[in-house]
Amino acid sequence: GVMCLVLINDCNIASASACGSIKIWEINTGVCSRTMTGHSGGVSCLVLINDCKIASGSYDKSIKIWDINTGICLRTMTGHSDDVYSIGKLNENRIISGSFDKSIKIWSLDSGECKKTIKTEYQVRSLSI
């Protein structure tokens, strides 16, 4: 099933799937123009970083940065010990992720490093930025 959608621009959306793929869809035609694979678990969340990149969070405990135009995975970020269930963009250089491991992590897009971990009492299912 489809886990989430993100609007890329006026012509395209991206969908995240429980089977582990991300698809880019042309809104006007309904045609899938690209399929991106690389996660070993379902993709639970997506966030648009800029016109050319999206980030995905997965049940495989990782976050991947993708080039929308080529479908190439540019970076994989690991550090969560359970499913990544939510993701958000803080600014041009940082994203934030929430996980079932009861943590929120802030990541550098430049280096791919986790810059801060906030421990919570409960699983983090959603973030609002």
Amino acid at 84: V
Question: Phi and psi of 18, rounded to 5°?
Answer: -65, -20
Rounded Cα gap, residues 63 and 46, in angstroms: 9
pLDDT in tens, the chain (129 residues): 899 999 999 999 999 999 999 999 999 999 999 999 999 999 999 999 999 999 999 999 999 999 999 999 999 999 999 999 999 999 999 999 999 999 999 999 999 999 999 999 999 999 887
Q: Is 60 exposed, middle or buried (0-12, 13-18, 19+ CB in 10 A)?
A: buried
The pLDDT of residue 128 is 84
CA dihedral of residues 114, 90, 127, 19 (deg, nearest 10) = -70
